[in-house]
Amino acid sequence: MKIIMLGAPGAGKGTQAKMIADKYSIPHISTGDIFRANIKNGTELGMEAKKYMDKGQLVPDELTVRILLDRVAKDDCSNGYVLDGFPRTIPQAEVLDSELTKIGDKIDYAIDVDVPDENIVNRMSGRRACVSCGATYHIVHIPPKQQGICDKCGSELILRDDDAPETVLKRLKVYHEQTQPLIDFYSKKGILKTVDGTVDSADVFKAITAILG
């Protein structure tokens, strides 16, 4: 069972990917994690990626796919995997498809966790983080006992720059321009499944498991 998770930043696809990985005993693969692992272990692919990252450049799609294929060739992926954060663009999806076809493989499901922009802005702008211990809260869903104060260490809670409405809107604009076209791409291949991401995360997961069986 090879799965790609789709959805806007803040839609909760990372949380769902972890839950899928746990339930079906398959690895949750994030491109950020495999880049870091390859660089830390000093692999040839990692060193090649590091050259681009050190210059502040994006790692080319072909190299990203090579690093990804190297990861999914490992024994723990023999029953499948969940890809989180890749592909992000149509060219990346095309390179991934073409390389998987060469080894007689393919993606089985592309799951889109669908959440309207307005919900994402409200969801993320309600997040608060502790300046000292890093604990996270949400002013509606997981409020601290005392407004603006961390339950765990008593330090101040702040709205991180990443979660500010203007930052979230910028990230959503990039998502709509670059990543949303993947929904059409996988729909045409007949493997797209959409779930309502506005409901409780347990209900989102229930909808996903109903699809995966």
Look at the alpha carbons of 151, 139, 84, 193 in this order and tell me if their dihedral is positive or negative. positive
Q: Which CATH superfamily is domain 2-115+173-212 in?
A: P-loop containing nucleotide triphosphate hydrolases (3.40.50.300)
Structure tokens at 86: 């890749």
User: Where in the chain are the domains?
Assistant: 2-115+173-212
For β-strands 192-196 and 127-130, DSSP reports them as unpaired
Can you give the pTM of this predicted structure? 0.86
The per-residue pLDDT for range 175-192, each reduced to its tens digit, is 999 999 999 999 999 999
The per-residue pLDDT for range 67-116, each reduced to its tens digit, is 999 999 999 999 999 999 899 999 999 999 999 999 899 999 999 999 99
Indicate which residues carry an active-site annotation. Answer: 13, 88, 127, 160, 171
pLDDT > 90? residue 32: no
Angle at 205 between CA 166 and CA 170, to 5 degrees: 10
Produce one character per residue of 200-213: b if its CB has 16 or more CB atoms within 10 Å, e if not: eeeebbebbeeeee
